[in-house]
Amino acid sequence: MSCSEAYAPQLRARGYRMTPQRHAILHTLCHSGKHLTPIEVYARARKQLTSLTEPTVYRTLEFLAENGLIHSAQIGNGRFVYEVTRHAHHHLVCRHCGKELEVDHQIVEKMYQKLESFSGYKITDRHINFFGICSNCQ
């Protein structure tokens, strides 16, 4: 079984290794269907691999995000959440009720280009949370 098998070659191609820890964490994210905090990943992945530790979870999530296998986003309180990489998208989050709305990347693509040509920076973020007030809460 398992989703995370598919990721092993991606890692090996870059000189990295597929370990039981990375396997468990990817498996957890694959089957969650939503954004998870490091603590949630830790709790769930540990059911599969009891020897897993907190620092490994934090390090692995950062590592997988740097290598593009997962996406991170910062939620309102400043913490990170993660999900396996899908199509490029962002989120609108209501500061009042927490309601989330997914928006395709193409809706901000033009602004990215404007920022890039203006500044010379190449913007890397492909999973941003924009905060506001949803229509119900206004």
Instruction: Tell me the closest approach of the beta carbon of residue 98 to Zn ion, in angstroms.
Output: 7
Q: Kindly tell me which of 34 and 110 has the beta carbon lying closer to its own copies.
A: 110
Q: Which of residues 69-98 bind its own copies (CB under 8 A)?
A: 74, 78-80, 92, 94-95
Distance between CA atoms of residues 68 and 25, nearest Å: 15
Tell the residue number behind the tokens 């990943």, with chain if given.
Answer: 41
Cβ(24)–Cβ(52) under 8 Å?
yes
Distance between CA atoms of residues 5 and 14, nearest Å: 16
Q: Would you count residue 114 as binding Zn ion (CB under 5 A)?
A: no
Among 44, 99, 105, 126, binds Zn ion (CB under 5 A): 99
Distance between CA atoms of residues 64 and 41, nearest Å: 13
Tell the residue number behind the tokens 């597929």, with chain if given.
Answer: 18
Among 4, 27, 28, 38, binds DNA (CB under 7 A): 38
Cβ(54)–Cβ(42) under 8 Å?
yes
Which partner from the list DNA, Zn ion, its own copies, none does 60 bind, CB cut-off 5 to 8 Å by kind?
DNA
Binding region for DNA (CB under 7 A): 8, 11-12, 15-22, 37-39, 51-56, 58-60, 62-63, 77-80
